[in-house]
Structure 1
C-alpha cells in the first residue's frame, strides 16, 4: 500500500493522538537506571503517512504518553 500524501495532516502537525494512527515497527524500552525507563512505540498515520513516536517515561517525576512526529522536516 502506498499513501499519497500532500503533507502532514493537522492532527499529526500538533503531535497528538488520533484515530488514523496505526502501530508499526518494534517497541523499544530504554533503561536509565535509578532514574527509570522510557518506553517507545511507533505509529504511522494512514491519512497523511506521518510517522510519530509515542513515548512514556516511567520513574520519579516522569509522565506521558507524549507524541513526536519524526517525519517532520521531510513533509
Structure 2
C-alpha cells in the first residue's frame, strides 16, 4: 500500500518523496484501469511515481522470479 498520494492529497503534506524506483512482478496482463495489473506509467497520475522514476515490469510468476532476484542481491 502506498501512502504517498494520501500524504499529498488528504493531509496536504508538501515535499513527500515519490518512490525511488518501481518493479512489478506479475503474471497478469498489464492494462490501464486495472489495480494489480496497471502499467507503471499509470502510477504517475496517482502521485506514486515521478516521470523520471526508473520503472520496469517482470512478466512472470513471483515464486520463480523472487528467489532469483534475492539470490543475486544477496550474492548467493
TM-score bin, normalised by smaller chain? under 0.3
Structure ID, larger Rg? 2
Q: With structure 1 as the length reference, what TM-score do the two structures score? A: 0.21
Q: Choose between structure 1 and 2: higher helix proportion.
A: 2
Q: Which has the higher contact order (CA 8 A, sep 6+)?
A: 2
More strand by share: 1
